Amino acid sequence: MTADPTPPAMLLADTQAHQAAPGTAVLRMETTPRRDGTFDGAWWPRSRDLETQLPGLIRALTERLGPLARIGLDASAWDVHTRHAIVDGHMVRIDWSAVDDNTMLITRGRQDIFSFLMLPPQIDTTAARAAMAMAVQDGNSASAAEILTATGITSA
């Protein structure tokens, strides 16, 4: 996986103030002193095509967090299941789960794990913004399913 024809992922502190171009992966990640919520961020890929969506995300996260070791993804969310991605000469291992729980786990180093809500690509902008904002609220203990339900999103 080396091709990257899509625009880069965007790290948005406030998705209300930015318009995302069609095809751009939108990533919202908030850092808080306590890290006591369920999610550290949220990602809204715009398709089920892993080869076009993942490189931009990896670049954005690497820029913010440093080199990534692994990414854990729901198998049902993607059309192709590869074991690793190589982006800018760095290999990131991809672990697949059959849980289908709309989450993504990012591992930096050996033990530093970040949890992300992963939104279905077909949802509308208003619902995506609401879900991303809810996911990163400090102290939020809602599961992915609870966030999707509360914001009117069905994961299909």
Tell me the per-residue pLDDT of 74-125, one tens digit each, with 9 for 90 and over: 999 999 999 999 999 999 999 999 888 899 999 998 778 888 999 999 898 8
Phi-psi region of 147 (alpha: psi -120 to 50; beta: other; left: phi over 0): alpha
What pLDDT, on the 0 to 100 scale, is given for residue 110?
Answer: 79
DSSP SS3 for 133: helix
Q: Which of 4-13, 55-64, 66-75, 110-119 has the highest mean pLDDT?
A: 66-75
Neighbours of 114 (CB within 10 A): 19
**pTM of structure:** 0.81
Check if the beta carbon of residue 116 is closer than 8 Å to that of residue 140: no
Q: Is the dihedral of CA 123, 146, 28, 82 positive or negative?
A: negative
First-residue to last-residue Cα distance in the chain: 25
Mean pLDDT of 22-31: 60
Chain CA centroid to CA 2, Å: 19
Averaged pLDDT of the chain: 83
Find the helix or strand (DSSP H, E) in which 113 lies: strand 112-118
pLDDT of residue 156: 57
- Average pLDDT of the residues in 42-46: 90
